[in-house]
Amino acid sequence: MYDITIISGDGIGLEVMESAEYLLDKLDLNLSFNYGEAGFECFNKNGTTLPEETVKMAKSSDATLFGASTSTPGQPSPIINLRKELDVYANLRPIKSYKGVKTIAEGINFIIVRENTEGLYSQNEYGDENQMIAERVITRKASEKISDIAFKLASRRNMLNKVTCVHKSNVLKKTDGVFKESFYKVAKNYPTIKTEDFYVDATAMYLITNPLNFDVIVSTNLFGDILSDESAGLVGGLGLAPSGNIGDKNGLFEPVHGSAPDIAGKGIANPCSMILSTAMMLDYLGEKEIASRINHTVERVVAKGKVLTPDLGGNAKTMEMTEEIVKELI
């Protein structure tokens, strides 16, 4: 039996989580669910964006599913804090082309490995009315750990056998200097994996001009975040971008997207990023066969192009596309 914590959050987080639960209910797996609160609505109700009970629940579960949260003025981000609490230091964001989705290139297939615990997402900002300072800590320990994950992934993927380190060490000489040095230190343990490193600004362009160059990209917290939305745009948008946050003890799975207030409440959010994140969770739990079947089913439904949400050019509702995926799967 697997104990799963479900945190829907706000906005389309609630809608796409309904899809994930609908799917999980139809699988022949022994799952038990606990429901945790977090986000903007949770703050209005409880005075905190991430209650202690939610953290405890997630820590004691086998895995956690997170929808999305709307940012709360003056309050810390619940998802960033939850990642820290669970020490899920590696944020894995696979990006690949889907047949039937018109994009600038075919056959895109890479994964972004984003350092999840430090960098500019410390949320430690201070100063006065006239000047504010944001803390950006980069440690050798975390940089080596995340590089090691990236090299392990490249060996396992067996595609281009390459890891690209993305940084800005020409300007952030000390902090990103540490990140880059750590990357090349770890690279010595993986002599069969090719390496390259680019500045983040150039990478933002290369992703558009030469997306097939990439296999595994490793970067710091903010750069990894920005590049993953750009990369999602390369293959059809945030509706097709899942993620898994992995640590030594915990796994937290969520779509790359946020709460999308512009479409929330309309029932038209693309459920695929949440469903693909759920497949990543099942893979993490050891249910490889069903995880892989879910991925292939999403590919088939998208390729058929009959039941698609508006972001993919269709006019189906979130639950209609979900039902179509589940019907194809079972």
Number of Cβ atoms within 10 Å of the Cβ of 52: 9
Residue 245 Cβ vs ligand NAI, minimum distance, rounded to whole Å: 10
Q: How many residues form the binding site for ligand NAI (CB under 6 A)? A: 21
Residue 191 to residue 104: CA distance in whole angstroms? 33
Residue closer to ligand NAI by CB (options 203, 270) is 270
SS (H, E, C) 68-96: ECCCCCCCCCHHHHHHHHHCCCEEEEEEE
Specify the residue for token string 């292939």: 296
Q: Which residue is nearest to Mg ion (CB)?
A: 225
258 lines the binding site for ligand NAI (CB under 6 A):
yes
How many CA atoms lie within 13 Å of 264's alpha carbon, on the beta-carbon side? 17
242 lines the binding site for ligand NAI (CB under 6 A):
no
Q: Give the x-and-dash track for 212-241 against ligand NAI (CB under 6 A).
A: --------------------------xx--
Amino acid identity of residue 136, one-letter, is: R
Q: Which does 225 bind (CB under 5 to 8 A by kind): ligand NAI, Mg ion, none?
A: Mg ion
Residue 268 Cβ vs ligand NAI, minimum distance, rounded to whole Å: 7
259 lines the binding site for ligand NAI (CB under 6 A):
yes
261 lines the binding site for ligand NAI (CB under 6 A):
yes
Residues 213-232 close enough to bind Mg ion by CB under 5 A:
225
Number of Cβ atoms within 10 Å of the Cβ of 106: 11
* 69, 78 contact by CB (below 8 A): yes
Residue closer to ligand NAI by CB (options 8, 182) is 8
| Two structure tokens written together for 208 | 């558009």
Task: Kindly give the interhelix angle for 288-304 and 318-329, rounded to the nearest 10 degrees.
Answer: 120
List residues binding ligand NAI (CB under 6 A): 12, 16, 68-71, 79, 238-239, 254, 257-263, 269-270, 273, 311
